[in-house]
């Protein structure tokens, strides 16, 4: 549905987005991650044909974003960062205006407005002027505006920015609900959000694409991925530890000094990030260690993010 081909944007000598390529298919929710100023918004602005790429291009539903931008805009619903709207209009007037510019007839307009207002739960405030609304409602108005023509492609720049946890939940529910029949690209720097919402994530750093894959596969970059954490009632002695390390799949064992109540916390690192839970479990049963807790770590997205965007050092 979306094919991005060597998309590049330069401002003078500064390269904001550097030859990014990726494809997105129908039904996919793609998350854009990256530190501030990494080029997420710039990429989205190019995809919505707000700014013209310096080189490269993208096709949305087969239409080129440069040569066929009007056709692209018809297919795309776009929520710009901080959800701008005409503040002195009421919610209804504003949505009505968007529907009119998108060329809907009187009858269609009524139906579309009703649907989108219901979808984004704006019924209560529809006759209020937008500048009297709270941040959460303003965000929802921006959302409604992007959804009014039921676009096959949704591009959302930080859709949950500045919302309270309930509102965030609501927006995520909305996104998930629509995901099946659409292509959704959203940017965020909230990592849990990406994990909870996206089928696939792209990490951009300084204009370059540094990772592209499912949240699961990104977690594999984490040092802690598939590490087994054990909490023991008392610390095992040296010999017993060496037995553990001697297991075929175990790379190393680290004692964590932070254990509470004299409990001993240790981390068992696997070789090649393989799943060693059953092996460790088997070993523990054999040795008759008294285990209070055992857990296979999934890896930390935050750590992966730092690793990919700051270089391996941290």
Partner 1 sequence: MKPMIALMKRELMNYFYSPVAYVFIVIFLISTVGSTFFLGRFFNSDQAGLEIFFLFHPWLFLFLIPAIGMGLWAEERNSGTIELLFTLPISMLQTVMSKFLSAWIFVGIALILTFPMVITVWYLGEPDNGVMFTSYLGSFLMAGTYLAITCVTSALTRNQVISFILSVIVCLTLVLLGWGVFMDMLNQVFPSWFTDVVSSFSFTTHYNSIRRGIIDSRDLVFFLSIIGGGLVINALILDYKKAS
Q: In what order do the strands lie in the sheet with 250-256?
A: 250-256, 264-270, 228-232, 291-296
Stretch that binds partner 1, among 79-87, 172-180, 256-264, 295-303 (CB under 8 A): 79-87
In DSSP terms, 5 is beta-bridged to: 57
Where does this chain touch partner 1 (CB under 8 A) — which range of 80-88, 196-204, 272-280, 296-304?
80-88
Which residue, among 39, 30, 46, 23, has the nearest Cα to 184 in the 3D structure?
A: 30
Q: Which among 99-107, 168-176, 192-200, 246-254 is the span making contact with partner 1, rule CB under 8 A? A: 99-107
Q: How many residues bind partner 1 (CB under 8 A)?
A: 29
Of 112, 115, 159, 118, nearest to 135 (Cα)? Answer: 159
Using rule CB under 8 A, residue 126 touches partner 1: no
* Of 162, 181, 169, the residue nearest 77 (C-alpha): 181
Residue with tokens 């500064």: 14
Stretch near partner 1 under the rule CB under 8 A, chosen from 24-32, 74-82, 200-208, 287-295 = 74-82
To partner 1, the closest distance from the beta carbon of 87 in angstroms equals 7
List the one residue from 103, 108, 114, 310 that touches partner 1 (CB under 8 A). Answer: 103
- Tell me: does residue 113 bind partner 1 (CB under 8 A): no
Judged by CB under 8 A, the residue of 13, 14, 36, 70 near partner 1 is 70
In whole angstroms, how close is the CB of 141 to partner 1 at the nearest point?
A: 11
Question: Exposed, middle or buried: residue 15 (CB in 10 Å: 0-12, 13-18, 19+)?
Answer: middle
CB 41 within 8 A of CB 18: no
Q: CA-CA distance, 43 to 27, in Å (whole number)?
A: 20
Task: Report if residue 132 touches partner 1, rule: CB under 8 A.
Answer: no
Which of 38, 43, 48, 194 touches partner 1 (CB under 8 A)?
48
Contacts of 224 (CB under 8 A, 6+ apart): 267, 297, 299, 300, 303
What is the footprint of partner 1 within residues 145-164 (CB under 8 A)? 145
Task: Determine, following the binding rule CB under 8 A, whether residue 80 of this chain makes contact with partner 1.
Answer: yes
With beta carbons less than 8 A apart as the criterion, state whether 90 and 124 touch.
no
Q: Does 296 bind partner 1 (CB under 8 A)?
A: no
Binding-site member from 87, 124, 169, 252 for partner 1 (CB under 8 A): 87
The site for partner 1 (CB under 8 A) is made up of 45, 48-52, 70-71, 73-74, 76, 78, 80-82, 84-89, 93, 97-98, 100-103, 145
């Amino acid at each position: 549905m979306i094919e991005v081909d060597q998309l590049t944007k330069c401002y003078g000598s500064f390269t904001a987005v550097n030859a990014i390529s990726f494809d997105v298919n129908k039904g996919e929710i793609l998350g854009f991650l990256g530190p501030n100023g990494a080029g997420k918004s710039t990429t989205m602005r190019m995809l919505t044909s707000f700014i013209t790429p310096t080189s490269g291009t993208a096709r949305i539903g087969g239409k080129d974003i440069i040569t066929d931008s009007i056709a692209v805009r018809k297919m795309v619903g776009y929520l710009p960062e901080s959800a701008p709207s005409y503040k002195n209009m009421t919610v209804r007037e504003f949505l009505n205006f968007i529907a009119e510019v998108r060329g809907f007839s009187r009858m269609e307009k009524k139906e579309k407005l009703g649907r989108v207002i219901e979808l984004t739960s704006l019924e209560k405030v529809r006759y209020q002027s937008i500048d009297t609304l709270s941040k959460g409602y303003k965000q929802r108005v921006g959302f409604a505006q992007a959804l009014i023509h039921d676009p096959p492609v949704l591009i959302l720049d930080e859709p949950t920015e500045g919302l309270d946890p309930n509102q965030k939940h609501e927006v995520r529910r909305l996104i998930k609900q629509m995901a099946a029949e659409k292509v959704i690209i959203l940017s965020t720097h909230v990592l849990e959000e990406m994990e909870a919402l996206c089928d696939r994530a792209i990490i951009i750093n300084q204009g370059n694409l540094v990772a592209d894959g499912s949240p699961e596969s990104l977690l594999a970059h984490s040092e802690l991925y598939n590490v087994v954490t054990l909490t023991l009632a008392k610390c095992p002695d040296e010999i017993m530890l060496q037995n553990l390390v001697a297991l075929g799949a175990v790379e190393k064992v680290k004692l964590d000094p932070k254990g509470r109540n004299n409990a001993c916390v240790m981390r068992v690192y696997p070789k090649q990030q393989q799943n060693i839970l059953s092996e460790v479990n088997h070993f523990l049963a054999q040795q008759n260690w008294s285990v209070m807790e055992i857990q296979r770590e999934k890896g930390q997205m935050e750590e992966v993010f730092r690793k990919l965007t700051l270089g391996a050092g941290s």
